[in-house]
Amino acid sequence: MLCKIDKKFYPVIEYYNEFSSRVKKSGLSAPFKLALERNDSQVYRFEAEVYKDGVHNIENSTFAERIIKSLLWIVGGYKLYINAPYKLFEKIAKIFSENGKRAFDVKFMEKIYEKPFSIEYREANNLPEANESGVSIGGHYNGCRIGFDAGGSDRKVCAAINGNVVYSEETVWHPKLNSDYRYHYDGIYDSIKKAASYLPRVDCIGVSSAGIYVNNRAMAASLFIKVPEDDFDKHIKDVYINIAERFGAKTEVANDGDVAALAGALELNDNRVLGIAMGTSQAGGYIDGSGNIKGWLNELAFVPADMQKDGAIDEWSGDKGCGVKYFSQDAVIKLAEFAEIRLNEKLSPHDKLKYIQDNFDKNSKIPKIFEDIGVYFGNAILYYALFYDIKYVLLLGRVSGGAGGNIIKSVAEEVLGEYGSNIKIILPDESNRRVGQAIAAASLPDIN
The answer to whether 333 and 349 are in contact (CB under 8 A) is yes
What is the span of the domain harbouring residue 428?
267-439
Q: Is residue 89 part of a domain?
A: yes
> Which of 232, 258, 284 corresponds to the end of one domain?
258
Give the other-Cβ count within 10 Å of 95's Cβ.
19
Q: What is the chain's Cα-based Rg?
A: 22
pLDDT of residue 432: 58
The answer to whether 117 and 79 are in contact (CB under 8 A) is yes
- Three-class SS state of 423: coil
Give the other-Cβ count within 10 Å of 133's Cβ.
9
- Confidence label for 433 from pLDDT (cuts 50, 70 and 90): low
Query: Residue 28 burial (CB < 10 Å; 0-12/13-18/19+)?
Result: middle
Sheet with strand 154-161: strands edge to edge: 164-172, 154-161, 144-150, 204-209, 250-255
Q: Is the pLDDT of residue 430 over 80?
A: no
| Same domain, yes or no: 224 and 311 | no
> Which of 126, 160, 179 corresponds to the end of one domain?
126
| Same domain, yes or no: 171 and 319 | no
Q: Is residue 149 part of a domain?
A: yes
- Confidence label for 215 from pLDDT (cuts 50, 70 and 90): confident
| Same domain, yes or no: 147 and 58 | no
Rounded average pLDDT over 391-402: 91
pLDDT tens for 300-316 read: 999 999 999 999 999 88
Rounded average pLDDT over 100-127: 95
> Which of 258, 293, 318 corresponds to the end of one domain?
258
Q: Using N-to-C axis directions, what is the helix angle for 181-196 and 239-246, rounded to 10°?
A: 40
| Same domain, yes or no: 139 and 122 | no
Write the CB contacts of 357 (distance below 8 Å, at least 6 apart in sequence).
401, 402, 404
Q: Is residue 447 part of a domain?
A: no
Cα–Cα–Cα angle for 247, 112, 394, rounded to 5 degrees: 70
| Same domain, yes or no: 174 and 191 | yes
Bridge-based pairing of strands 204-209 and 250-255 is: parallel
pLDDT of residue 23: 98
pLDDT of residue 38: 94
Q: Is residue 42 part of a domain?
A: yes
pLDDT tens for 253-270 read: 988 888 878 888 888 889
Q: Is the pLDDT of residue 212 over 90?
A: no
